[in-house]
């Protein structure tokens, strides 16, 4: 049964959210939040997966008290990270320093059992941005929907055209 304390603290409310630890060629390099979309697919940010060679995901409420964290052992799920091929920081018509197409996934080598997680994160429906209030759209349009520079676009090997 869910207690008032549990509801307020958020404990157990998002069992599909986990912590991903990424390895580069030298071993563990950084960590990011991640959401389990299916038993074997984990969604995270492209700036997290970019340049990495391996990942492992923990779905525990308290990862740092786990003696196996951050190394590969029995309580994590190993996977292969993939970055959106069009991922780029500072490119396109977005805000300077922000990433474009900042999407990464981790494909787990074994499925997370339903005894560990029995519900999954859901992606927003297509066209959600189109449903924003007209006030929010107007505010976004007033800035031209961008504040990026052509120098940032050139850094990424792209012209100044929009995506």
Summarised one tens digit per residue, pLDDT across range 108-154 is 999 999 999 989 999 888 877 677 655 565 665 555 554 333 333 33
> What domains can be seen in the chain, in order of their start residue?
15-155 (2.40.10.10)
Residue range 34-39: mean pLDDT, rounded: 96
Burial 23-48 (b: 16+ CB within 10 A, else e): beeeebeebbebbbeeeebbbbbbbb
Task: Report the pLDDT averaged over residues 8-15.
Answer: 64
Three-point CA angle 70, 72, 74, nearest 5°: 110
Rounded CA-CA distance 77/64 in Å is 16
By C-alpha distance, which of 105, 112, 93, 98 is closest to 48? 105
Distances (CA, A) of 51 to 45, 121, 149: 12, 25, 25
Instruction: Tell me: pLDDT of 4 over 90.
Output: no
Higher-confidence residue of 16 and 5: namely 16
The distance from CA 93 to its chain's CA centroid, rounded to whole angstroms, is 21
Q: What is the pLDDT of residues 72-120, one digit of tens each?
A: 678 899 999 999 999 988 776 666 667 788 999 999 999 999 999 989 9
Q: What is the mean pLDDT of residues 147-162?
A: 36
Q: With beta carbons less than 8 A apart as the criterion, state whether 96 and 90 touch.
A: yes
Cβ–Cβ under 8 Å, residues 99 and 152: no
Residue 43 clears pLDDT 50, i.e. is over it: yes
Check whether 31 has a pLDDT greater than 60.
yes
For position 64, what pLDDT does the model report?
A: 78
Alpha carbon distance 113, 124 (integer Å): 24
Reported pTM: 0.70
Alpha-carbon gap, residue 156 to 161, rounded angstroms: 12
pLDDT at res. 6:
40
């Amino acid at each position: 049964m869910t207690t008032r304390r549990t509801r307020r603290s958020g404990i157990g409310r998002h069992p599909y959210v986990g912590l991903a630890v990424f390895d580069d060629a030298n071993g563990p390099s950084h960590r990011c939040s991640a959401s389990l979309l299916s038993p074997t697919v984990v969604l995270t940010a492209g700036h997290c997966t970019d340049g990495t060679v391996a990942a492992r995901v923990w779905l525990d409420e308290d990862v740092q008290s786990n003696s196996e964290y951050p190394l590969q052992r029995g309580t994590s799920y190993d996977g292969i990270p993939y970055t959106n091929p069009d991922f780029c920081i500072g490119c396109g018509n977005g805000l300077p320093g922000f990433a474009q197409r900042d999407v990464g996934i981790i494909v787990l080598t074994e499925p997370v059992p339903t005894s560990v997680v029995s519900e999954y994160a859901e992606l927003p429906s297509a066209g959600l941005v189109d449903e924003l209030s007209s006030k929010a759209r107007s505010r976004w349009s007033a800035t031209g929907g961008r504040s990026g520079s052509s120098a940032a676009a050139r850094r990424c090997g792209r012209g100044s055209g929009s995506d």
